[in-house]
Chain A
Amino acid sequence: MNGNPTLERIASGNGLALCAAGSWTARFAPVLERLVTDAEKLGGSRPNIFIDVSQVSKLDTFGAWLIERLRRSLTEGGIEAQIAGLSANYSSLVDEVRRVKAQPVLETSAVTISGMLEQVGRSVAGVGGTLVGLIDMLGAVLAAAGNVVIHPRGFRLTSTIHHLEQVCWRAVPIVVLITFLIGCIIAQQGIFHFRQFGADIFVVDMLGVLVLREIGVLLVAIMVAGRSGSAYTAELGSMKMREEIDALRTMGFDPIEVLILPRMLALVLALPILAFLGAMAALYGGGLVAWLYGGVDPEAFLLRLRDAISINHFIVGIIKAPVMAAVIGIVACVEGLAVQGSAESLGQHTTSSVVKGIFLVIVMDGVFAIFFASIGM
């Protein structure tokens, strides 16, 4: 029953009989393909060929197709080829595969240099489109926000609170831990190197300015882009894939107002809070290291800190936070809504949401640095 398939050649007069036997099934497909490919080369040797399948114990689509393919290629070679001995059981199967039109195999496009250059060109040209998309989304969100101000009933408080919990409250432990550690590292490095000039105490100045102006908010923004930006993109993307966003739209709701505005608002509120907590944790960590490693006792640290930094430093840092949050949120939502039908597309857009989010956050930080320097803050 499960005998290995064979294809025997028996000469008969000026013709040839090809006797197929055994199990012509998918299990033996590699063997069958070799047998048939060899037999196809017989073309031209004999005027007529019989393909005798009466000894075939088992036949499935693979076997039936290969027999049919053999018949076709022999016929194309100008040979009278016939299939004989087909049992009634299998004749409908052979009829089924007879309808198959052999199709030229499509060449998969190879990777070429010009193709890669084309890809680069398209990516560069796509930058403009991306910017327009971001501005478009910003406009839509602002319009939705304006609408909510006029009709406060449209505001989704529950949703906003829910997202605030997700992006703010649940992010506190990890944000505090990481910024604490960064504060420790900055202080340790500062003390280690400043000690050579006997300038240990200036580490407090460096820590205060760096953490409050730059590191605190930038680091937290990057963490939020990785943590919440990706979540927003994945959520919106899978909703897009399952037509949930279309459903919302057909019920007369604006997806921007229902889905995106609460998320944006939550992010814009969350980032300043997280940036503040992060800055405090970093200062605490730095102070701890300055005390234990550098011998600067807490009282001296606080006194020095009070002299070194002004409220301006803090304002400069915290004022950047909501803007960065808006950038992260806009990018995440645009990418989420751009997801197509496949799982791969969801992955690509989530990746690019995080990458673009972090990139734009750093660009924004640079723009702010120039701005604050020129107004002397």
Chain B
Amino acid sequence: MAGEISDAIIRVRDITVQFGTTRVLDGLNLDVKRGEILGFVGPSGAGKSVLTRTIIGLVPKLAGRIEVFGVDLDKANTAERRGVERRWGILFQQGALFSSLTVRQNIQFPVREYLKVSQRLLDEIMVAKLGMVGLKPEVADRYPSELSGGMVKRVALARALALDPELVFLDEPTSGLDPIGAGDFDELVRTLQRTLGLTVFMVTHDLDSLYTACDRIAVLGNGKIIAAGSIADMKASKHPWLNQYFNGKRARAVVV
């Protein structure tokens, strides 16, 4: 791991997570810098989603410390925790849209709960967010079960962005999207980072995303971060899994 980074927005120290007797994360350290897009990769089942869920507090940890926006989440009281939760947005792997609410209500839900604004502004913001993720306002009154897989992802991103968070967690955002859609998505994440100063923590398997969208890449293996750095660092790495991942057949196709 690189040394202490002064303006880390997420600081993870010595995290250990265990399910039964299986140790998934074993003394893991990770820093995410303010304003960067961090791509998080690793073999399937290595615990990428587990780390994400541990940081956002859905999985209990055995040991370690997690700071988000400089707040230690274990020591934070309810109000502090809520303050942190308001400043992050999360895109779950399956979208996790509320199935009994329409797209409009899904996107407006966090806004309505946290801010006292008029229905008119709610609707306008909803249309703006839909536009940002590349959807037409016509889908606003559909239910999640009436959307395609890619649309579900986009609506879920729009909901994650509804309160203009400073930090977003994206769990495999481009899986299940067509290559053009995935490319647009990467472009969108880049634009949002540039315009909103967003910090993005992105779990992904998409090599294109890693090349085009991510500033930095962290690799998870054996419950620890085995490497972190730019795409060039990854390609130069001698680690067998990294070598295969970044210099394999599919990786070469991306570069060409």
Contacts and interface: CB of A to CB of B under 8 A. Distances in A.
Interface of A: 25-26, 29-30, 33, 60-62, 65-66, 69, 89-90, 92-93, 96-97, 99-103, 105-106, 241, 340-345
Contacts of A100: 124, 127-128, 131
Contact of A30 (B99, B115, B144): B115
A104 to B, nearest CB: 9
A220 B243 CA distance: 66
B118 interface: yes
B137 interface: yes
A33 B144 CA distance: 30
Interface string B131-145: 110000100010111
A60 B99 CA distance: 28
Interface residues of B, number: 32
Given A61-B161, A61-B164, A103-B137, 17 more contacts: A33-B121, A60-B196, A61-B125, A62-B125, A65-B125, A66-B121, A92-B194, A93-B195, A96-B132, A97-B131, A103-B123, A241-B145, A341-B99, A341-B145, A341-B146, A342-B143, A342-B144
Contacts of A241: 145
Contact of B131 (A30, A60, A92, A96): A96
Interface of B: 98-100, 111, 115-121, 123-125, 127-129, 131-132, 137, 141, 143-146, 161, 163-164, 191, 194-196
A26 B164 contact: yes
A26 B115 contact: yes
Contact of B117 (A33, A90, A93): A33
A342 B119 contact: no
A90 B99 CA distance: 35
Nearest to B198: A60
Contact of A89 (B123, B146, B161, B195): B195
A341 B142 CA distance: 12
Most B-side CB within 10 Å, residue of A26, A30, A106: A26
Nearest to B99: A342
A352 to B, nearest CB: 16
A103 B195 contact: no
A65 B124 contact: yes
A105 B123 contact: yes
Contact of A344 (B100, B119, B120, B124): B100
B195 A90 contact: yes
A7 to B, nearest CB: 16
Nearest to B195: A93
B125 A343 contact: no
A30 B117 contact: yes
A308 to B, nearest CB: 54
B178 to A, nearest CB: 20
A26 B113 CA distance: 13
A26 B165 CA distance: 9
B155 to A, nearest CB: 14
A83 to B, nearest CB: 15
A61 B123 contact: no
B120 to A, nearest CB: 6
A341 B99 CA distance: 7
Contacts of A341: 99, 143-146
Nearest to A93: B195
Contacts of B124: 65, 69, 100, 102-103
14 contacts: A29-B111, A30-B116, A65-B125, A66-B121, A89-B195, A92-B195, A96-B132, A105-B120, A340-B145, A341-B146, A342-B99, A342-B144, A342-B145, A344-B100
Contact of A343 (B100, B121, B137): B100
A200 B116 CA distance: 70
Contacts of A102: 124, 127
A99 B128 CA distance: 8
B127 A103 contact: yes
A65 B195 contact: no
B22 to A, nearest CB: 26
A21 to B, nearest CB: 19
B100 to A, nearest CB: 3
A371 B120 CA distance: 63
Contacts of A25: 164
Contacts of B117: 29-30, 33
B121 A97 contact: no
Most A-side CB within 10 Å, residue of B111, B128, B144, B161: B128
Contacts of B118: 33
A172 to B, nearest CB: 33
A102 B122 CA distance: 12
Given A33-B121, A92-B191, A96-B132, A342 B100 contact: yes
A115 to B, nearest CB: 18
Nearest to B197: A89
A343 B99 contact: yes
A96 B195 contact: yes
B154 to A, nearest CB: 15
B172 to A, nearest CB: 19
A99 B131 contact: yes
Contacts of A343: 98-100
A328 to B, nearest CB: 27
A61 B99 CA distance: 26
B163 A105 contact: no
A351 B125 CA distance: 37
A101 B136 CA distance: 10
A241 B94 CA distance: 14
Nearest to B119: A105
A314 B128 CA distance: 70
A62 B143 contact: no
The 5 closest A-B pairs by CB, nearest first: A341-B145, A344-B100, A342-B99, A60-B164, A93-B195
